[in-house]
Chains A and B, each alone.
Chain A
Amino acid sequence: MRIVCPFCGERELGEFTYLGDAKSARPAAGASEDEVFDYVYMRDNVAGPMSEYWYHGGGCRAWLKVARNTLTHEISSVEPAAGVGAKQAAR
């Protein structure tokens, strides 16, 4: 598998580390145990297009949000995770 890092370009799988489902956001402080439980344990396990977090640890160290089909492994988009660097904030 190859992932097009928005910063580095296309790179091979070995440079990346997988985390998983990128759909749900971390509950705010004060969230209930049930909400946090859902966030931590009840991840999406889609057979098809899925939004996921990947880490380009073997490259620019950016966390990426990757849209990937779990049936075919085809990747349709890659974007920086919310706060990569000061990039968005700066421009």
Chain B
Amino acid sequence: MKYSIFSLARAAFSGHKNWQRAWRDATPKSHYDVVVIGGGGHGLATAWFLASEYGIRNVAVLEKGWIGSGNAGRNTTIIRSNYGLPGNTGFYELSMKLWERMEQDLNYNTMVSQRGVINLYHSDAQRDAYARRGNTMRINGIDAELLDLAAVRKMMPFLNFDNARFPVQGGLLQRRGGTARHDAVVWGYAHAASALGVDIIQNCEVTGFVRDGSGKVTGVETSRGRIGAAKVGMAVAGSSSRVAAMAGMRLPIESHVLQAFVSEAIKPLIPNVMTFGAGHFYVSQSDKGGLVFGGDIDGYNSYAQRGNLPVMEDVCEGGMALMPMIGRIRLLRQWGGIMDMSMDGSPIIDKTPVDGLYLNAGWCYGGFKATPGSGLVFAHLLARDEPHKEAARFRLDRFRRGAMIDEKGQGAQPNLH
């Protein structure tokens, strides 16, 4: 059923008894052209692009729990394309363009809200780094503005301008950046992909790879039986190392916990997405009214999906340094997701040394905003066996070659990216 205000109104008359499942509850077939492991945003987007762009509809998405149960359901919902290095810049802009048409593409309101993303700077050196980055964006056709103090003050008069330890000097603004409703992205892709024939199979955990005599992957073993596949794509950020290990691969990735927090719902207070430049704190306000904020990763390898107090305190200290008006707003809930932290802070989308197995991993903090772009370029790789031009630098062998894409300049130290 097509979603619209009219269908809603019609349904209201029948007490909403006629709505159908948002996606089909598929049972696994014995063989698919493509099996995508991971029913998160990336996996579902990949399936949808395979079906809609590349005409491959005999596709299954296998999810060990419920769709969106990984990082798609546990993030701070920010979308932006303000990256500074070749490889990232073009890719994230591709993704941004897909965000801008997502709702119409999917017939699902994912609440893409282009309310602006501003990175505040607090020193000349930081301003210069943002100037470099903003100019890169502009050269790539991406919107970027460098704001001075007066402009920031006008836009966000509630920041601490008077007695800050590190006074705000200005900011790099991307107006097209913003937020989207994370769960709706998952459901929207599931809804649209399912309508095109993609099988979405929940509670189906992959337990191993099926290989033929040549070592080629020909399917997967799952908690719901063996499923054959001409090609298998992995989109399991957070679990990439574990799944890759089933195929005998090691990845240049560490798993780290990234916490996020939400406050009680309040009336509109913060109009945009903001990152503090002198500490670890970024924030936006959800449409429901909660301040959604986060900071740095906890800093040690973890699969525990929960965090510890020091980072929580660190984040709130950043918040109170930047805008002491949030002191009496209460933090409602904290959670932790597992990040695939790669060795240069940038993702990997590539064929693997194992024939028939394709990798989409290493998203670090960039996973959510990458969702539509990742889906498109991974679908392209799976369909064409060659990288999409906007993902040409996200190769697995780039570390070996020395062609890192290191935005933060931290080197092979994933917890510092």
Which residues of A are interface residues toward B (Cβ below 8 A)? 1, 12-14, 17-21, 37, 40-43, 45-47, 50, 52, 68, 70-73
A42 touches B250 (CB 8 A): yes
Q: In the complex, which of the residues B251, B252, B415 contacts A18, with contact meaning CB atoms closer than 8 Å?
A: B415
Binary flags per residue of B197-216, CB closer than 8 Å to A gives 1, else 0: 00000000000000000000
Candidates A13, A21, A73; contact of B302 at CB < 8 Å: A73
**Residues of A contacting B412 in the complex (Cβ-Cβ under 8 angstroms):** 40-41
B310 touches A52 (CB 8 A): no
Q: Are A45 and B302 in contact (CB under 8 A)?
A: no
Chain B positions within 8 Å of A, measured between CB atoms, are 241-242, 250-255, 299-304, 308, 310, 343, 399-400, 412-415
Decide if the interface of chain A is mainly helix, strand, loop or mixed: mixed
Interface of chain B: mostly helix, strand, loop or mixed: mixed
Given A37-B400, A41-B399, the answer on whether A18 and B299 have CB atoms closer than 8 Å is yes
Out of A20, A41, A71, name the residue touching B303 (CB < 8 Å). A71
What residues of A have a CB within 8 angstroms of the CB of B250 in the complex?
42
Say yes or no: B301 contacts A73, CB within 8 Å: no
With A43-B254, A52-B300, A70-B303: A13-B308 Cβ-Cβ less than 8 Å: yes
Cβ-neighbour of A50 out of B301, B310, B415 (below 8 A): B301
Instruction: Determine if B252 and A70 form an interchain contact, defined as CB atoms under 8 angstroms apart.
Output: no
Query: Contacts A1-B308, A14-B310, A42-B250: A20 and B415 contacting too (C-beta < 8 A)?
Result: yes
Residues of A within 8 A of B400 (CB): 37, 41
Please, which residues of chain A bring their CB within 8 A of the CB of B301?
A: 18, 20-21, 45-46, 50, 52, 70
Chain B residues with CB under 8 Å of A47's CB are 241-242, 255, 303
Bound CA–CA A73/B307 (angstroms): 10
**B255: min CB distance to chain A, Å:** 6
Q: Which of B252, B300, B302, B415 contacts A41 (CB 8 A)?
A: B252
Give bound CA distance, A12 to B311, whole Å: 13
Summed over the interface, the residue pairs from A and B with CB atoms below 8 Å come to a total of: 57
Residues of chain B within 8 A of A52, CB atoms compared: 300-301
User: Which residue of B is nearest A1, CB measured?
Assistant: B308
Candidate in B241, B251, B302, B413 with the most chain A CB atoms within 10 angstroms:
B302
> What's the minimum C-beta distance from A48 to chain B, rounded to whole angstroms?
8
A20 contact set on B, CB distance < 8 A:
254, 301, 413-415
**Are B302 and A37 within 8 A (Cβ)?**
no
Partner of B255 from the list A14, A17, A40, A70 (CB cut-off 8 Å) is: A70
* B251 and A45 contacting across the interface, CB-CB below 8 Å: yes
Distance of B105 from chain A, by nearest CB (Å):
35
A1-B300, A70-B303, A73-B302 known; 8 new pairs, CB 8 Å cut-off, are A12-B310, A20-B254, A20-B413, A42-B250, A47-B242, A50-B301, A52-B300, A70-B301
Q: Is the CB of B304 within 8 A of A73?
A: yes
Q: What are 12 contact pairs spanning A and B, CB under 8 A? A: A12-B310, A20-B413, A20-B414, A41-B343, A41-B412, A43-B254, A45-B251, A52-B300, A52-B301, A68-B300, A70-B303, A71-B304
Distance of B206 from chain A, by nearest CB (Å): 15
Nearest CB of A to B347, in Å: 15
- Nearest chain A CB to B397's CB is how many angstroms away? 10
Report Cα–Cα, A46/B300, bound state, in Å: 12
User: Bound state CA distance, A91 and B238, in angstroms?
Assistant: 44
For residue B399, which residues in chain A have a CB less than 8 angstroms away from its CB?
37, 41
| Set of chain A residues within 8 Å of B242, measured between Cβ atoms | 47
Output the least CB separation between B334 and chain A (Å).
15
Q: Are A45 and B253 in contact (CB under 8 A)?
A: yes
Closest to B301 in A: A70
Complex formed: what's the CA distance from A21 to B149 in Å?
Answer: 43
CB-defined contacts of A71 to chain B, threshold 8 Å: 303-304
- The 7 A-B pairs at the shortest CB distance, nearest first, are namely A45-B241, A18-B300, A47-B303, A41-B252, A41-B399, A70-B301, A71-B303
